[in-house]
Structure 1
């Protein structure tokens, strides 16, 4: 066989078996060749008089695309896009054959399974498995961005009152139910721009605005979801809370400590009042 003249259908078959899309685009952005998978993944259409890579880019970004296609020494670049609920990875390799062709070869793969797996790993690294709220590690990442940008903030510290009693007398399954109920009460009480974290054990933390009106609104919403425990029905949700802002204290640790002290005072009122029969 003359390997210098392999029929294109053989190349197409090999690429199809490897599940790789192939597109050739010249230095004007015009697509001069694509195989079937590339057409399916990227939307190229044989029925159109002309396909162009520029159709995949916003108008303001198109000059940069043309610039890359006309750089003879350009390095390979990669891009992952999401389209039609699938993740598509494109690897662009520049081609420069003097006096014959300048442009790029695009190898395309469906990497949906890989990207969804990475998203799941990232979510698991950032969220608490039981409640679905963000975890303590992510709090330190987010709050650092606030500190770096000198952005004022408020912290609301929360704690489930009577949870130890519930765990000791009714089991940890019932305790887990209360933890999930607490998370939902918090989640439904904050704004889309706020962050809610499970800080550890039965402690929760909300990162929100420094404005008193916002802090009070969130606190009142959460308190409205509290239930009064009785000796007959002790396994009910009751969240104690306290808040502080970065305008009051010099650093994040001090803000957190102030919110925690106020939460503790609120918790003491619970044990002196509705929860007085519980042992801490």
Structure 2
């Protein structure tokens, strides 16, 4: 696609006009919701969407309702010019750039309440986070009306919350998860990695190493409690302040005590310096 081929929409009405044109032509449409500051993980979502749809839309919206009162909304990376260049190179068809007033117009007083996979983990530390995520994603799915929507597995709890919400509300969209993209040393790509100091960046891959070692031990027959406990120790010894490191059912995210209880996913959130990192890995089936 030529560079000038990336269309822009800035309002729900302009987005819907373009979607109607594509629908009239019988085209299959995908949406990749993002908050911008795009990296190779986001581009992997665009490429996955390109393989399964004839038209790919990417939304860029830094959603204020998913940030807590002391979080990084004001300093969250905003790199629109670079984002647009990456989307052109990845052959996205349209970028949706709504204003806050387009998502939350004056008098807005509705939110999506989520439970199930939203319980525990992130919610224990960011109690309003998933209500904000679910509400904005529901809005974007209604506004864009895609056939498919693509989310990264790096934010694994978010993926499961959005999947459950879409199913529960009978939204006519297929939610597709895409594997985490990592640096060569294992660090999961994240827009917030730019916050890491040089020393913290050297330490950060310890999070992934602890997860993979625990996953391998559980797959080899070690008790979940033992493997997870050792992983927690490794993370704290590396210099992280641990929020959680838990073994959960890979679909429901309910806590599990044994690999026999179902497919296992290990999820972690921890702070190094001023940066909070999250990650997760699946436990191979025995």
Asked if Structure 1 and Structure 2 have the same fold, meaning a TM-score greater than 0.5 normalized by the shorter chain, the answer is no
Q: TM-score normalised by the shorter chain: which range applies?
A: under 0.3
Query: TM-score normalized by structure 1?
Result: 0.21
Higher relative contact order (CA 8 A, sep 6+): 2
More strand by share: 1
Query: TM-score normalized by structure 2?
Result: 0.21
